[in-house]
Chains A and B, each alone.
Chain A
């Protein structure tokens, strides 16, 4: 993969925002991991540490009215749409101040006001749902684009194939982004997939371009995101992007990820997207002080969000009975 070491076309403010977005995702999730080990974050949590460039690049490129559909590994995509840290943190802790009042949890982060249309915990389900949003955008001529993020493992479930065909048949404005981190939960994607590139090698089946990008290069992610969003807005139909990346942590919770060879882990740690981008910005002449200031600002924000979340009480009991139905209640008899 050819490395573009200098990208003068990007405005400095865009570059700094890309950097800041990644730093937010990284520092937030490192805190989540600590809080999980301390017992504050309950249940489960799937971190995107190592994969931040994808969410950051798209978050920067998307318009406010565009839609994100993510998986259970959705903290990064939620924050990257501009959702505040504190309600996300509180949701992970099961507090009433959480993004969904504590009713959804880590795997279902949603903020419709930010275009974050949900995090889905059944593999593959949200691809057809994103297709439906795109159908509605096309029907209403609203110029919105649905962006759907999922993993390599998701390319082997039927819903992936149904959704791609469906989107292609009706030329719908949806961008499918496969974050190929080389593993499903604990099994290498290569062991269970008939082709080398689980997403890109299937693109031709649906008349789509074969697109593979370095998912650890945030400016490349930003570029491809802009290009594909534009493609969708121009009425050219869906795109399927395979972004090569790697998760630093295990699949979820405290999984140590022992099924991955040490050399592989070490090689990918060398390709950590955040220090790499920082080095590049420094080479491009961005002042070190400016980058340090971003790091510090984010560190303070994470501390503050943690305190706000910890101070939020558990949800009141009656919340369990709310919003089963659109009338706000749970009654099924009349």
Chain B
């Protein structure tokens, strides 16, 4: 057991997989000599050498195209896209090529790639360096989408992503890099498509992911202490595959569903969760499912504005109170 930051977990995750499998190579902008813009990959170059830890030009299409070509021909490469907002210049390779080529070729081609990227707001970076793009990614058939919320999950889900034979979009919450948690020694491997029950509860089910997991748990603690509302909190951990079974089981016990999402409201992942629960868990519900999201706006930079729009502990408490209390 050691205390590890979410940032340090990135290094440990990459090192764990690169040590285990020499087909794993890592490329991205400023990732090798400089150790990455978030300083999460410092030391990797010294440990694994320039053949496996590669500084690239600012060429997102070339980085991701190279990732795909390398994966098609026997490697298991990992790329870093500095900020997930930059997926704007990546989508052809990601959505048209990586996601569809296995299908189009009737299974001839396998594309075991992982694309790591800093995702989400909270750092006052403004509308082009703060977005939560998980809903963009999950809209494309053929992509798996993971969002670790803790250092342990970062390592375990990353290992699962590297070992998975499908393309995985791996979104690290930028606002969590400095957060710390106890992490066990030794190899850590989780599975994609398995949610984690962060807190059990009998009155309300809160379904969330990524940075919102911590806010949801804090809100749940307050709701219990101050208002006697007992909330279960489920960290989905991956959006594709989606562990809807765990959600349905919990809603079966609580009869109330709330989602807490960092992405803008329209077509956010919670809409899909609510839709399935409304369809398949309708008769277990005692009230309408409610989504707590960032409004459908670009993100503002100023602290007071950004804090107002991304779901906060206060807002989660308030909404659940109003609907349930």
Contacts and interface: CB of A to CB of B under 8 A. Distances in A.
Contact of B96 (A101, A122, A146, A330): A122
Given A132-B68, A132-B69, A103 B165 contact: no
Interface string A155-167: 0001100110110
B109 A334 contact: no
A131 B72 contact: no
A258 interface: no
A122 B102 CA distance: 16
Given A162-B62, A324-B102, A169 B51 contact: no
Nearest to B138: A332
Interface string B204-247: 00000000000000000000000000000000000011111100
Contact of B241 (A101, A108, A332): A332
Given A132-B65, A331-B241, A125 B71 contact: no
Contacts of B59: 128, 162, 165-166
Contacts of B105: 100, 103-104, 108, 110, 112, 118
Given A166-B59, A323-B106, A117 B72 contact: yes
Given A110-B104, A323-B106, A129 B242 contact: no
Interface residues of A, number: 53
A260 to B, nearest CB: 29
B166 interface: yes
A133 B66 CA distance: 7
Contacts of B251: none
Contact of B70 (A103, A104, A133, A169): A133
B126 interface: no
B284 interface: no
A129 B75 CA distance: 13
A125 B96 contact: yes
Which of A110, A137, A326, A330 has the most B CB atoms < 10 Å from its CB? A326
B241 A135 contact: no
A128 to B, nearest CB: 2
A100 B193 contact: no
B25 interface: yes
Given A128-B66, A162-B57, A162-B62, A133 B142 contact: no
B57 A169 contact: yes
Interface string B66-105: 1111111111010000000000000011001100011111
Contacts of A104: 104-106
Interface residues of B, number: 52
Contacts of B96: 122, 125
B117 to A, nearest CB: 18
A56 interface: no
Contacts of A135: 66, 69-70, 75
B280 to A, nearest CB: 10
B288 interface: no
B128 interface: no
B92 A125 contact: yes
Contact of A166 (B62, B101, B193): B62
A140 to B, nearest CB: 6
Contact of B242 (A112, A132, A332): A332
Nearest to A159: B61
Contact of A128 (B51, B65, B109, B142): B65
Interface string B139-161: 00110000000000000000000
A159 B109 contact: no
Contacts of B60: 162
Contacts of B241: 331-334
Interface in A63-106: 67, 69, 99-101, 103-104
A24 interface: no
Nearest to B58: A162
B65 A125 contact: yes
Interface in B27-75: 51, 54, 56-57, 59-75
Interface string B158-180: 00000011100000000000000
A284 to B, nearest CB: 39
Interface in A294-334: 319, 322-326, 328, 330-334
B194 interface: yes
B104 to A, nearest CB: 4
Given A118-B109, A158-B61, A139 B25 contact: yes
Contact of B165 (A118, A326, A334): A326
B240 A332 contact: yes
A136 interface: yes
A100 B69 contact: no
Contacts of A117: 69, 72-73, 109
Given A166-B63, A326-B164, 19 more contacts: A100-B104, A110-B109, A122-B97, A128-B66, A129-B93, A132-B71, A133-B69, A135-B75, A139-B70, A159-B61, A159-B65, A165-B57, A165-B59, A323-B106, A324-B103, A324-B141, A333-B245, A334-B193, A334-B245
14 contacts: A104-B105, A104-B106, A111-B108, A125-B65, A128-B69, A132-B77, A133-B69, A144-B73, A166-B56, A166-B63, A169-B57, A324-B142, A325-B142, A332-B241
